[in-house]
Amino acid sequence: MATARPPISVVIPTYHALRYLPACLSAVQAQLRPYDEIVLVDNHSRDRAGAWVRAHLPAVRVLDRPYNAGFAGGVNAGIAVARGDLILLINDDALAEPGCVEALWQALAMSPAAGWAAGVLTFSRQPNIIAGAGIRFQADGIATDRDLGLPVSALPSQPQPVFGASGGLALLRRSMLDDIGLFADFFSYLEDADLAWRARLRGWECVLAPHARARHVYSATAGVASPLKQRLLGRNRLRMIIRCLPTPLLVACLPSILAYDGMVLAYAALRRQPALIAGRLMALAEVPTLLRQRRVIQDRRTATIPALARWIEPPAGPLTTWRLQRRLARLTQPATT
């Protein structure tokens, strides 16, 4: 007998993305049931996205924010007012393909120990190429998209365990969030990886739903390699590492972490990209606060170190990373006429 699906609250934070919203909302709305809801969190967009949605899609609940709280703040605000037992996150610049919501639910229903299910994001102009199929974590402290750049034909045919889900397309149980808390106040980037670690520390699993797919405009908000993104990634990477890695794993990974950051700092100085340095300095200034947060998070750990260690993958290596970045740059180039 099929498991009855609990109500879903779709939470979509938006910021200056009115050009994408009509398609995003329409695609999701077509897959919901009468008892589900959509909560759009308008992060003080200058394009008046919230006003447009109120006028044209009255079934959507709009939550206006007085300032831009980023992805993390927007999602947390939406979850706070959402009514569903399940929370569906999808980026405002993503287009859910038919069957996406049902595939997420089926994967989650088949995995009682899973607190969330990861969807598959593909590139908007090349939907046969994977932009991310959940999150993977490396020994050098990099949390990145799984299967980035691979063809969708490489996806498994059935749901499978993954380290965590991207906040760009995921279905979360409210019970997991009640246990581990909401997204960390990272503004944007790596708040989903931080959540993945906190879920793992408490024994929550994550499952990939390979048939739940959405076409995504990659880094539409901040740009693929903008100074803002570089600064946030540098800061949030160290925040996540300090907060979440248990001491035995942190000690084991520390040489690789330091080697990676050393290469990044040398690259930043050579290429005159100060944002890469500034983000790390911001995190270092927060160390006392981060250590207090770490104590709270680690004191609640129930998972064993071996169970956590199995999710830490070897570093990709500089050459592999460079090739992947080159391919990503090609995949995200603006269309030409």
Residue 2 lies in a domain: no
Closest CA to 31 of 235, 146, 169: 169
178 lies in a domain?
yes
pLDDT of 31 over the 70 cut: yes
Q: How far is CA 62 from the centre of its chain?
A: 22
Is residue 207 domain-shared with residue 67, that is, in the same domain? yes
Q: Is 48 left (phi over 0), alpha (psi -120 to 50) or beta?
A: left
Q: How far apart are CA 232 and CA 47, in angstroms?
A: 24
**Residue 219 confidence (pLDDT):** 60
In this structure, the answer to whether residues 205 and 240 fall within a common structural domain is no
Is residue 235 a part of any domain in this protein? yes
Query: Does this model's pTM top 0.85?
Result: yes
Is 195 found in the same domain as 285? no
331 pLDDT band, cuts 50/70/90, is confident
What would the DSSP string read from start to end of 9-25?
EEEEEESS-TTTHHHHH
What's the rounded mean pLDDT across residues 91-117? 97
Contact 10, 39 (CB under 8 A): yes
C-alpha span between 253 and 260 (Å, rounded): 11
- Among 191, 216, 241, the domain-final residue is 216
For residues 211 and 266, membership in a common domain is answered with no
137 and 55, same structural domain?
yes
**Structure confidence at residue 327 (pLDDT):** 73
pLDDT recorded at residue 218: 74
pLDDT of 220 > 80? The answer is: no
191, part of any domain: yes
Which of 95-104, 207-216, 217-226, 245-254 is predicted with the least confidence, judged by mean pLDDT?
Answer: 217-226
337: pLDDT strictly greater than 50? no
For the cut 90, the answer to whether the pLDDT of residue 29 exceeds it is: yes
Q: What is the spatial distance between Cα 118 and Cα 170, in angstroms, rounded to a whole number?
A: 5
pLDDT at 320: 75
> What pLDDT does residue 321 have?
73
Do 321 and 249 sit in the same domain of this protein? yes
Q: Which helix (DSSP H) or strand (DSSP E) does residue 274 occupy?
A: helix 274-285
Task: Kindly state whether residue 143 falls inside one of the protein's structural domains.
Answer: yes
Does residue 130 surpass a pLDDT of 60?
A: yes
Domains contained in the chain, number: 2
**For all residues of the chain together, what is the average pLDDT?**
94
Residues 201 and 266 in one domain: no
Indicate whether 195 and 266 sit together in one domain.
no
> What's the CATH code of the domain at 189?
3.90.550.60
295-318 mean pLDDT? 95
Tell me, yes or no, whether 222 lies in a domain: no
Residue 285, exposed/middle/buried by CB under 10 A (0-12, 13-18, 19+)?
Answer: exposed
Same domain, residue pair 155 and 257 = no
How far is 250 from 305, CA to CA, in rounded Å? 11
- Last residue of some domain: 182, 216, 250? 216
Whether residue 253 is contained in a domain is answered as yes
Q: How confident is the model at residue 326, as a pLDDT? A: 75
Q: Residues 132, 147: contact at Cβ < 8 Å?
A: yes
Q: Which domain holds residue 269?
A: 227-331
Query: Residue 334: what pLDDT?
Result: 60
Comparing C-alpha atoms, which of 227, 269, 87 is closest to residue 171?
A: 87
Question: In this structure, are 211 and 307 located in the same domain?
Answer: no
Residue 109 and residue 155: Cα distance in Å, rounded?
20
Please check whether residues 188 and 239 belong to one and the same domain.
no
Top-confidence residue, 320 or 241? 241
Q: Which of residues 157, 192, 216 is at a domain's end?
A: 216
Structure confidence at residue 1 (pLDDT): 45
> Which is more confidently placed, 271 or 81?
81
Please indicate, yes or no, whether residues 37 and 82 belong to a single structural domain of this protein: yes
Average pLDDT, integer, range 260-285: 94
